Amino acid sequence: MLSTTAQYALRALVKLAEEPEKTVLGRIMAQETDIPANYLSKVLLTLGNAGIVEATRGAGGGYRLSRDPSTIRLIEAVEPFDRARIKPTCLLGAPECNDENACSAHDSWKVIRTQFVDFLESTTLAEISSTTVRSPLYVSATPGTIGNDP
């Protein structure tokens, strides 16, 4: 549901959230997140313009979050790259699809699209970073089973 660029943005932000007291060099972040360095620099520039990332030049320079990860909602990181993808659109591409003039997929897609946007709006960067303590229960790959996170 997200573009590659938005996924890269989230991956870079998670990396920064995992080391909040450090400034991370762009080339190191590119290596550790498996994002092409030139692509990453453009992503980080956009995130900087959005007020999410700060860049420091020179010795000891690099990138860091401009705010606490618990205050950065995922929608803020995704919207600069995927504004068109997160706005309400018809799954089948019908130009006039709405509650009154619905396509055949409208009702089902509306529920999923709403859940997706709600997730982005209500989930913070801190909640998806590995520094967050996760619940001891998870739904495993086998349907109907619950176990401890490996």
Domain-embedded: residue 145:
no
Give the residues across from 53 on adjacent strands. Answer: 65
Asked, for residue 148, whether it belongs to a domain, the answer is no
In one-letter notation, the amino acid at residue 141 is A
What average pLDDT does range 91-113 have in this prediction?
87
Q: What is the DSSP letter of 59?
A: T
How high is the pLDDT of residue 51? 95
Specify whether the CB–CB gap between 84 and 140 falls below 8 A. Answer: no
pLDDT of residue 125: 95
Q: pLDDT tens, 113-150?
A: 889 889 999 999 999 987 544 444 333 344 444 444 43
pLDDT of residue 1: 77
Is 87 in contact with 52 (CB distance < 8 Å)?
no
User: Could you report the per-residue pLDDT of 6-48, keeping only the tens digit for each?
Assistant: 999 999 999 999 988 889 999 999 999 999 999 999 999 999 9
pLDDT of residue 58: 76
Domain span at 116: 4-139
Report the pLDDT value the prediction gives residue 135, as an integer from 0 to 100. Answer: 41
Domain count, the chain: 1
Query: pTM of the full predicted structure?
Result: 0.78
CATH code, domain carrying 87: 1.10.10.10
- Is the pLDDT at 82 greater than 80? The verdict is yes
**If we measure between CA atoms, which residue out of 25, 3, 7 comes closest to residue 16?**
25
User: From CA 132, how far away is CA 65, in angstroms rounded?
Assistant: 16
What does the pLDDT read at residue 147?
41
Any idea what the Cα angle at residue 126 is, between residues 124 and 128, rounded to 5°? 80
Average pLDDT over residues 76-88: 84
pLDDT computed for residue 99 by the predictor? 87
Q: Would 149 be classed as within a structural domain? A: no
Q: How far apart are the first and last CA of the chain?
A: 27
